[in-house]
Structure 1
Amino acid sequence: MREFAASDSGKTLLQILENVNDVITVRDAETGETLAVSGAVEEMYGYTAAEFRDLSIEAYSAGPPEYTQERALELVDEARMNGETSFEWKAKRADGSEFWTEINISRTELEGQSVLVSVVRDVTERKEYELELERYERLVSLISDPVFTFDENDRIDYVNEATLALTGHSREELVGAHPRKLSVDQAQTREHLEAIHELQDGEDDSVRLEGTITRDDGTERTIESNMALLPPTDDGEFGGAVGVSRDITRRKRREEKLERFASVLSHDLRNPLNAAMAQLTLLREVEGCDSEYVDTLEELTDRMAEIIDDVLTLAREGQYVTDPEAFSLPEVVGEAWNTAGTPEATLVVDDELGVVEGDRPRVGRLLENLFNNAIRHAGDDVVVEVRRLPDGFAVCDDGPGIPPDERDDVFDYGYSTNTDGTGFGLNIVAEIADAHNWDVVVGESDAGGACFEITGLSE
């Protein structure tokens, strides 16, 4: 039996306090005098029962601004008036450390005396979990992208404000609902849920899904969601999933327009141009027509073909990268240099380029265009350096550089200071970077030439 402390008039209360894990105190309802304290107080507060009985409430409370003697007395008065009260209280041990308690006070009669019985339970672990959960919920609520969770029954059980804004539905309408409430394609919804469940037995940590939802006002939006599993249930079964979505409606429409544009380039323009080039060949080889006019026409048709190729590349390379892969950047740099470099030019590659994630062929095209740009403006004997940046890489040369007042224009459609170029090379660079959600800016290299910095790469 633990040690208990009680006043002479409260010794009959000792039987009530025997072998109780929670701290129990008994006070006179009128005077507030402490009549008895259970021995569990020493383990919880660090005071002996006798010491604790003589302390003021303030001595074992965390203090301002909320946990003061004044506030404690208000709560005691509430129990005295109403018969009972319950509240959480931040307490303080004898060594000064703080912890959370849950206190239940009730008024009762013992041997003709009106007393207040307080039951104090240490709820620090639960409270810290609740506070951590509140912090996470607050953080998630501030995220601009829609965030939501499914429970083990594939029902929506959490949505943040961004999800409400995207769908147009209220929280009450969404929580507890099945995802098919929003989906346009029910078969696709089943496929998506199957893909999410398959994560439990697969090697991937997440899955990217794309689908169309119907908003509350009837309009449709295309969204991309990255889904990951929540911890499994106690018996190891599916425990739900968390998703982060993004409205990609505008992006999809842009890609559709680019596809139509590419189709026009590939067929409606290239076919008649190819026919014209064939006629020129016949004119020269069959008819024997060899004049400066035919030469000029041939140069013009070749240039038109080059422009069409560049614009077609621009249309395709600008499409968003949906399935990035990890690859060695030095390897892609080497491949691009073998395609674009000249025997007289020099390539210097940083040993720390490392691995990046993206669309490998398109990153190769980006590098080729930057190398071609350096050679075109700095000459065949240019020195090009590719070096690592904290969140990306840079391609720099020792050429004449780009004047500061022109640096914002070099990525525009058709911009070129070289009569031999089509003006699409650097624009394609910008489109490929944008498709990866990267940033590209141009500045000055240490040698005074141009330096293109590509940043925003994931680590």
Structure 2
Amino acid sequence: MDDLLSDPTTVLVVGGRERAVAQVRSGSAGSFDEVVVVVDSVEAALATLSDRRDVGCVLVTAAPTDASVVEACERIHAVDEHRPILLSLDDSAGRTAARATQVGASEIVLDEDDLPDRLAAAVDRYERRRDQAAESSMFRAILDGVEGAVYVKDRAARHLRKSTSPGDFSSEEFIGKTDVEVYGESDNTLASYEDDLRVIEEGEPIYDKEASYTTPDGTHWSWTTKLPWKHDGEVVGLVGWTRDVTEIVERRERLKCQDERMEEFVRSIRHDVKSPIQIASGRIALARETGDVTTLEQASEAITRIDEILDDLTQTVLENSSLSPEGVGVGQSSPVSLSDLLEDVWELVGFDAASLEIEFGADAVVNAPRSSIRPVLENLLKNAVDHGCSGVTVRVGPLPSGGLYVADDGPGIPEAERERVLEDGYTTTRTGTGTGLSIVTNIAEQRNWELSLTESWAGGARVELRNALVVSDPSVVPTAEETFSLTDGIDVGDVIVAGESTLEGDEWHVSGSGKNIYGEWNEFHFRCASVDGPVRIEGQFTDLDGANEWSTAGLMIRDGLDDEASYGHVGLTAGHGTKIDWRTSRGEGGTTRHLEESSLDAPWYRLDRVGDTLTIYCSTDGRSWRPLDQRRVELTDPVRVGTTVCSVQPEELARSTVEHLTVTRLDPE
């Protein structure tokens, strides 16, 4: 393409017939400005074309010394099919000229007096064709290589050209169609079509318009630029470029979220420190007035709490440097004992007349940073004590569908006020700051917990924290001798590409397609066994070749094989750490948690079923197991137990390798 840097001002004459050459030279001195180069052989002509980039036309006037006219035209045409070849032969070569036009000659000049004008026109035509071919090649390179979708549309917003984007329809399926005709009617496609028409009708461009759309692998964002396409001053269509900017938008939102979290964190620290300072100050003042030094113990406890808050501050800063807002930090923080934490908080916020009832077992844990769960429980318990009667009873316990609740037998919260109570600044006292429950709300949003207010068993307030990773009873159930073979390889849901699963030695190799295991979607390959009663499945995921970053491979216990079945599922994603999925009742929408932890080295997972309770575990070595989550799931024997693969790219397969995969009978005492 370096030819584009040279003007095609040279005419190459092959054959050297004197009268024709004379006419060309006279033309170059008068009616056109081209340089004339004369050669007598095809080899010399080809060498000239190789050495020079400014040849705009070839004129064959006679047979060269080393080839026929026809052969000369054929070989010269092969060098550049766009460069014109003119023939100006003597009167006896009519048949030869006709044959030459069949192999590359572009026109025959019968009247040699016309040669100067015909050559000038041919050179001009070649320059236009050369430039058009180069521009077409450049545009094709853009279509084939640019990231995102590049397209050209006519005045009716129908595609004339379209690049092929990964995961999209082929470019041929767009030609002659609008976005609405390709994708169907939706808010996004209708808005895009309206933008097309506005650009075409008004002639005004659109730059970097941001839009979001949902696919089976989550929400994506795009930026679109559309420019009016003008020809001879008239808008004849548009040229556009749409690119995926999900990573950019997510990074922007993370930074925004971090700013908001830091601002809220400062307010939270101010609020959390206020109570122990007040307690310490009050107890010290009381000791001075009465001489009762026992009150100093309570002051000491309050000061200890201030130290803990400062420790939490340090921990939170460390977490914010390595975790996403939703991450729970598997492998980076230990499960928090709920009983110990509740008793510790109650020592600070409770008083003699109030009572705390803990419905959790002594070994119950929550998988969340202590710096997140402590201020939640502290604010909820303090709120119950502050707004309850003098002998208020506060009860904390597990939710069967996952999470925990804090309830009291105080006056409760009117239904009309429940949403406002969670807002920042809401308070019912003159001295209140209105930040307590808003802190709970913000932490819940950051951790992807679902917060709701309802009525307690006694008509008081009940705050429910759903989708928190709570394990009420992490006790390990012993196994029996009986094991089960994974006999069935089944595609669940309406998958496009069939999966398969094979056992080679101790390794299961499983491949699967499917939209997702998420919300309403249930499409994946399932290698499974049918089992009655208590059961455990565990295995080590040593490899996952994902079709994209959301592809997943895991372990599942499922009520059946239809896509409405309830289930519990844990697994590894290609780019977002551990993924936990639940559908606790048949036909309902599922819930998902991406833990977003740092990548574990060949993680182990385990799933235990005892009755309707499923417990999920993870491990780094297959010996020391950490309980992750526990929920009640509607299950009817026999259940399906096995390993899954879902590509989250419906037309492609993802592949996993699972070692030490076992299904074992449990023997609860």
Fold shared, TM-score > 0.5 on shorter chain: no
Instruction: Compare relative contact order (CA 8 Å, sep 6+) and give the higher one, 1 or 2.
Output: 2
Q: Whose strand proportion is higher, 1 or 2?
A: 2
Higher-Rg structure is 2
How does the TM-score come out when normalised to structure 2?
Answer: 0.30
